Amino acid sequence: MAISGAFAGCGQGPSDTDKVHDVVEAFGKATAAKDYQRLCDDLLAPKLVSEVESAGLPCEAALKQGLGSVSAPKLTIGAITVSGDAATADVQSSARGEKPSRDTLQLVRVNDSWRIASLK
């Protein structure tokens, strides 16, 4: 056990690209699960949450209103670009009964994690 502890700090953790990929993947899963609480609390940047709430609804209620009717959403992640504390992820999204869409998600580093900064 002492040997594994000795090497614990030697390896590098996931790259920023890997972290961004994980956040975008979690975003897709939370959207599919209609887990608006996780989206608002863990995956969206505070500034985006404020923008969503500016309509007068709590973040979770606003997302439910906007995404609640989406059925079987699917997100495919393409190229990811990281530049300092900003990143982009090219994604293709689809949902039952809707035309597939190609978009670029904007992400920002918030403290030590990546968050979705724009849903456009």
Average pLDDT along the chain: 88
Instruction: Kindly compute the dihedral angle of the four CA atoms of residues 17, 70, 56, 113, in this order, to the nearest 10 degrees.
Output: -10
The enclosing H or E element of 113 equals strand 113-118
Domain layout of the chain by residue ranges: 15-118
- State the average pLDDT over residues 8-18: 77
Q: With contact defined as beta carbons under 8 Å apart, do 27 and 116 qualify?
A: yes
Q: Which pLDDT band holds residue 92 (cuts at 50, 70, 90)?
A: very high
The model carries a pTM of 0.83
Higher pLDDT, 12 or 11: 12
Q: Can you give the pLDDT at residue 94?
A: 86
Say which CATH architecture domain 15-118 belongs to.
Roll (3.10)
pLDDT for 104 beyond 80 = yes
**Mean pLDDT highest for which of 8-22, 39-53, 87-101?**
39-53
